[in-house]
Amino acid sequence: MTRYVYQFCDGNKDMKDLLGGKGANLSEMTKIGLPVPPGITITTEACKRFYEKGQKIDSDLEKEICENLEKLEEKMGKKLGDKENPLLLSVRSGAPISMPGMMDTILNLGLNDESVKGFSKAISNERTAYDSYRRLIQMFGDVVMKIPSEKFEEVLDDIKKSNGYKDDTELTIDDLKEVVDRYKTIFKENAGIDFPQDSRKQMMMAVEAVFSSWENDRAITYRNINGIPHTLGTAVNIQSMVFGNMGNDSATGVLFTRNPATGAKGLYGEFLVNAQGEDVVAGIRTPQFIDEMENVFPDKYREIEEVAQKLERHYKDMQDVEFTIEKGKLYMLQTRNGKRTGAAAVNIAVDMVEEGFIDKKTAVLRVEPLSVKQLLHPAFDEVELQKAKKITKGLAASPGAAYGKIYFTSEEVVAAAERGENAILVRTETSPEDIDGMSKAKGFLTARGGMTSHAAVVARQFGKSCISGCSELVVNEKAKKFSVKGVEYKEGDYISLDGNTGCIYEGKIQTKEAEITGNLNKLLTWADEFRRLEIWTNVDKAKDLERALEFGAEGIGLCRTEHMFFGEDRIKYVRRMILTDDIEEEMKVLDKLFEFQKKDFYNLFKHMDGRQVIIRLLDMPLHEFLPVRDKDIEALSKEMNKDFDELKHKVSSLKEFNPMLGHRGCRLGMTNPEIYRMQVRAIITAVTELEKELNITLRPQIMIPLVGIEEEIASIRKNVTEVADEIIERENSKLVYEVGTMIEIPRAALMADKIAKHADFFSFGTNDLTQMTFGFSRDDADAYLKSYVKQCVLEISPFESIDTEGVGKLMDIAVRLGRETNPKLHIGICGEHGGDPKSIQFCDKIGLDYVSCSPFLVPVARLAAAQAAIKNN
């Protein structure tokens, strides 16, 4: 026969599915001899039965509950509803997976018109007794009978008002008795029945109410959002009450066994003398820090310390604990693994290994990889941030925190920077003309444009904070001001941008620099022992590269060549190259660009110290490089000695309806082969020169973007090797280089066997692959993606974490087909998902060789890759 009810002393911590998290932990604490007020747990199976029987507790189940209640009464030497010394109970939900605050709780159960008197006598505190009774009626009315709490609050307010009280504590015992009477009236008026005086009936109704709360709207929504199965059901814990408000030898408190913010050893928490748990939460009285307890209750403090150590030793993790001291006796009411910051997680995990609690593998699994990010990025000072006034929110386009005075043109930013000011560039949207100001600004804020807008791309390349697509922003560049919901901000006003969250604040919030603690280093070194995936990085600037190498990157998985075209000294050549019809002029301009690019690649490889570097050939559509404003077109027309109208027509004819699906990447390489040939010439020339100069061996990898058709890569590869081999031969070099491709077009994944014939490596461009597989334009998708996540159509935006079902299926196909043709194929990912732990786990699972992510995410990826290897094994 299925057992539906357990005494705390019968369960243990491994029975979470049956007893819920709270019940299992209460049992466990009981089992290891901690002072837990006795109680019983009605199982999740009972909950399922309750729903099967049409939301009813059938007589068999009721009988089992009552039998267990009797055992509890025996253990406590008190009876529920007893007139002399009644047993009081709390009734709480407790699901297998924590759903904090989602379901209902009832305290002080067992009080009625008679037992309240006995209780009063037993605790020698009439005030507490009647206060407990009126709380029971209110809670019971609310939870069981759905009577709005306000109705009860009104009565309390009324009595306080007519007596001129400000505070609940001023209520006399007679006042409280009046409250109880009037509460009962309200109960009857609204519930249609008297407040039940039969305590067993109270209990059964409370249990039913808790079971029912499993399916209240809040709980269903919570489960939808968090992906918790609706079939789990909740357990119900019925526990004998203890009271922290029985005088000055009583107290109640919460604590963490270590500091949850820093991980420092030693208790961290707070307590209140002569109070109940809810008083701590309600914030009416200010609690004391837990260390002050050493003075107030030295014995109890030591006892708690021992309990905390016992719990940590037992659970092998930092615990979040609730306790009550009733007349000098300590009771433990709850324990669970404590939530913590990234820094604390790292320190606790490492400390616990050193303390011998856990092994390295457990430590590596213990830290949420993304939480490591908090330790690395410049961020706002938390204290200042809490005081700051938020203006609005946009897209978090490039991470990092920044403050500065606002300016609306590139020129003004440059001038401000020369004056030594921190400047923030605010524009409707940025264009290549703004590049000077952008290089000098601390951050950018734009009203339009998405995660791949000009501002966002440049910001990430420059490593600057950027918030884009802030739709509430109305920018008036002429009047040098912007407004948000009618509030105006003028040139020179301070604002602060949080590129991690997309939030914009008024005024100046100080930032603090990233720190890497010794413990983080330790943890990551352990992670490296477990991971199978190599961790590469996406960079194209020497400064970022330095950081990435410091953070442990093993290669460059993506070096973009776009930004190299945007410099003030080059953009005009790029434009002339694009807009000329004269082949000679084109070749002349390409030679000029070759010189720039050669220098770029020379510097890059010089800093790479012999590591592998994947250079992606030009990916952007040509029109991104072109001038937008008539003024700039006119300047160019003079330089090129071309008719303005004709030039303008040509510029606008290059615009595209759907640039994401446009004439870019290898499509450009096919129609304008000279650009790629110039780039390859620059790469190979730079590398052969460097090899000679430094007498080292380099191994450049040339990556062709946006391939979808076998003939694209075949034809471009032919071009690449033609150019490269000629230089290598001429220079008498032994250089070995590789040619590979992005897999970012659905068709490329489907045709990977054919494409792999011409590729030495594959690198998944999951940003574009996601856009095309879903048909979502990332720049526009916010309008529905947010609501999709809210409505649980999607668990998470597929741009944040790889959609393993759909996009992942294509990746899996590509890996299998690719290796069928070319078993040596080196396969990785360089989309932004390369820094997302869930995505990394998937990449490990389908057998990629490496993930490549932005420098700041390298530590995250190291940890995530280790966890993936452990979990996938």
Active site residues: 454, 830
Residue 610 is labelled as binding a ligand: no
Q: Does 628 bind a copy of itself (CB under 8 A)?
A: no
Residue 73 is labelled as binding a ligand: no
Q: Does 810 bind a copy of itself (CB under 8 A)?
A: yes
Tokens of 193: 């029945």
Pick 242 or 755: Cβ nearer a copy of itself = 755
Contact 300, 316 (CB under 8 A): no
Cα distances (Å, whole numbers) of residue 97 to 147, 323, 362, 514, 720: 28, 22, 21, 34, 56
Region binding a copy of itself by CB under 8 A among candidate stretches 138-146, 232-240, 549-557, 652-660: 652-660
Pick 21 or 662: Cβ nearer a copy of itself = 662
628-632: list long-range contacts, CB under 8 Å, 24+ apart: 628/431, 628/433, 629/431, 629/433, 632/433
796: exposed, middle or buried (Cβ count in 10 Å: 0-12, 13-18, 19+):
middle
Tokens of 659: 């640039």
Nearest to 601 by CA among 615, 612, 587, 588: 615
Region binding a copy of itself by CB under 8 A among candidate stretches 102-110, 547-555, 654-662, 728-736: 654-662
The neighbouring-strand residues paired with 443 are 424, 465
Q: Does 649 bind a copy of itself (CB under 8 A)?
A: yes
* Alpha-carbon span 275 to 295, nearest angstrom: 18
Region binding a copy of itself by CB under 8 A among candidate stretches 339-347, 725-733, 800-808, 840-848: 800-808
Q: Does 648 bind a copy of itself (CB under 8 A)?
A: no
Strands 465-468 and 395-398: antiparallel
Instruction: Supply the minimum distance, in Å, between the C-beta of residue 652 and a copy of itself.
Output: 9
Pick 250 or 773: Cβ nearer a copy of itself = 773
* DSSP state letter for 623: G
Residue 629 is labelled as binding a ligand: no
Among 660, 727, 735, 796, binds a copy of itself (CB under 8 A): 660
Q: Does 657 bind a copy of itself (CB under 8 A)?
A: yes
Cα Dmax for the chain:
107
Instruction: Supply the minimum distance, in Å, between the C-beta of residue 706 and a copy of itself.
Output: 7
Q: Does 803 bind a copy of itself (CB under 8 A)?
A: yes
Q: Does 369 bind a copy of itself (CB under 8 A)?
A: no
Q: Does 467 bind a copy of itself (CB under 8 A)?
A: no
Residue 768 is labelled as binding a ligand: yes
Nearest to 242 by CA among 39, 509, 390: 39
Tokens of 795: 């668990």
Q: Does 248 bind a copy of itself (CB under 8 A)?
A: no
Residue 765 is labelled as binding a ligand: yes
* DSSP state letter for 736: -
Nearest to 624 by CA among 394, 445, 408, 430: 430
Q: Does 473 bind a copy of itself (CB under 8 A)?
A: no
Pick 570 or 575: Cβ nearer a copy of itself = 575
Among 53, 787, 816, 872, binds a copy of itself (CB under 8 A): 787
Region binding a copy of itself by CB under 8 A among candidate stretches 243-251, 548-556, 569-577, 658-666: 658-666
Among 370, 640, 670, 796, binds a copy of itself (CB under 8 A): 670
Instruction: Supply the minimum distance, in Å, between the C-beta of residue 709 and a copy of itself.
Output: 6
* Alpha-carbon span 238 to 68, nearest angstrom: 10
Pick 626 or 868: Cβ nearer a copy of itself = 626
Instruction: Supply the minimum distance, in Å, between the C-beta of residue 470 and a copy of itself.
Output: 12
Pick 262 or 804: Cβ nearer a copy of itself = 804
Q: Does 38 bind a copy of itself (CB under 8 A)?
A: no
Among 809, 821, 845, 849, binds a copy of itself (CB under 8 A): 809
* Alpha-carbon span 766 to 251, nearest angstrom: 55
DSSP 419-449: TT--EEEEESS--GGGHHHHHH-SEEEESS-
Pick 348 or 769: Cβ nearer a copy of itself = 769
35: exposed, middle or buried (Cβ count in 10 Å: 0-12, 13-18, 19+):
middle
Q: Does 226 bind a copy of itself (CB under 8 A)?
A: no
Among 656, 693, 722, 725, binds a copy of itself (CB under 8 A): 656
| Amino acid code (one letter) for 725 | D
Within residues 262-301, the interface with a copy of itself by CB under 8 A covers none
Q: End-to-end CA distance of the chain, in Å? A: 38
SS3 848: coil
Tokens of 207: 């249990």
Pick 139 or 748: Cβ nearer a copy of itself = 748
Pick 297 or 489: Cβ nearer a copy of itself = 489
Q: Does 791 bind a copy of itself (CB under 8 A)?
A: yes
Tokens of 413: 């930013």
Taking each helix axis from N to C end, the angle separating 126-143 and 173-191, rounded to the nearest 10 degrees, works out to 20
| Amino acid code (one letter) for 375 | L
Nearest to 293 by CA among 282, 305, 275: 305
Strands 511-512 and 379-380: antiparallel
Region binding a copy of itself by CB under 8 A among candidate stretches 178-186, 270-278, 382-390, 665-673: 665-673
Instruction: Supply the minimum distance, in Å, between the C-beta of residue 804 and a copy of itself.
Output: 11
Residue 366 is labelled as binding a ligand: no
Pick 158 or 645: Cβ nearer a copy of itself = 645
Contact 597, 564 (CB under 8 A): yes
Strands 86-87 and 265-273: unpaired
Among 746, 831, 835, 837, binds a copy of itself (CB under 8 A): 746
Residues near a copy of itself (CB under 8 A), total:
53
* Alpha-carbon span 228 to 792, nearest angstrom: 12
* Alpha-carbon span 22 to 194, nearest angstrom: 32
Region binding a copy of itself by CB under 8 A among candidate stretches 67-75, 236-244, 324-332, 659-667: 659-667
* DSSP state letter for 105: E
Instruction: Supply the minimum distance, in Å, between the C-beta of residue 471 and a copy of itself.
Output: 6
**Size (the chain), residues:** 873
657: exposed, middle or buried (Cβ count in 10 Å: 0-12, 13-18, 19+):
exposed
Among 229, 805, 824, 873, binds a copy of itself (CB under 8 A): 805
Q: Which H helix or E strand runs over 466? A: strand 465-468
Q: Does 395 bind a copy of itself (CB under 8 A)?
A: no
Within residues 751-780, the interface with a copy of itself by CB under 8 A covers 751, 768, 771-777, 779-780
Q: Does 191 bind a copy of itself (CB under 8 A)?
A: no
Among 11, 96, 499, 662, binds a copy of itself (CB under 8 A): 662
Q: Does 77 bind a copy of itself (CB under 8 A)?
A: no
Contact 837, 816 (CB under 8 A): no
Pick 53 or 816: Cβ nearer a copy of itself = 816
Region binding a copy of itself by CB under 8 A among candidate stretches 31-39, 42-50, 738-746, 833-841: 738-746
Report residue 47: phi and psi, to 5°: -60, -45
Residue 744 is labelled as binding a ligand: yes
Cα distances (Å, whole numbers) of residue 690 to 424, 538, 570, 609, 700: 39, 22, 23, 11, 12
Q: Does 734 bind a copy of itself (CB under 8 A)?
A: no
Pick 653 or 695: Cβ nearer a copy of itself = 653
Annotated binding-site residue numbers = 560, 616, 744, 765-768
Q: Would you list which residues are annotated within the binding site for Mg(2+)? A: 744, 768
* Chain contacts with a copy of itself (rule: CB under 8 A): 450, 471, 474, 649, 653, 656-663, 667, 670-671, 706, 708-709, 711-712, 715, 744-747, 750-751, 768, 771-777, 779-781, 783-784, 787-788, 791-794, 803, 805-807, 809-810
Enumerate the known binding-site residues for substrate: 560, 616, 744, 765-768
